Copies of this chain bind each other. A is one copy, B any other.
């Protein structure tokens, strides 16, 4: 048994942690936010835009790490405005149109003015 961090020059450094790690046959993906990797800043404007960007970022980590959205088993969503739950669900359905993962969601406070973060546990291809 071991723990294997996933790193890639294609993945932005978000903090003093690995973008993802492998252990026990699973992939653990760090919380992804709506930061546009081209600009390094959060997507402004409607929540949906920021929310979609968070899942775009999640998909990138999954792909580089040898997984995919279809293999995500569990996501934990932290968001900051209860009023955005419907928008979250709309985006969620777009991202996972069938066989969606299990989910937990809670309204919290997030750093950097971010309105959403989503982490994931996924199977590996």
Which A residues lie at the B interface, using CB under 8 A? Answer: 1-3, 5, 15-26, 28-31, 70-76, 78, 82, 85, 89, 92-93, 96, 99-111, 117, 119, 121-125
Contacts and interface: CB of A to CB of B under 8 A. Distances in A.
Given A28-B121, A73-B28, A121-B28, A16 B104 contact: no
A102 B18 contact: yes
A99 B31 contact: no
B99 A18 contact: yes
Copies in the complex: 3
Contacts of A3: 70-73, 99, 101, 122-123
B28 A74 contact: yes
B109 A71 contact: no
A73, A101, A122: most-surrounded residue (chain B CB, <10 A)? A73
Contacts of A111: 82, 85, 105, 107
21 contacts: A1-B71, A3-B71, A3-B73, A5-B101, A16-B93, A17-B100, A17-B103, A18-B100, A21-B74, A21-B102, A28-B101, A28-B121, A29-B102, A31-B103, A31-B104, A76-B119, A78-B104, A104-B117, A104-B119, A106-B106, A107-B110
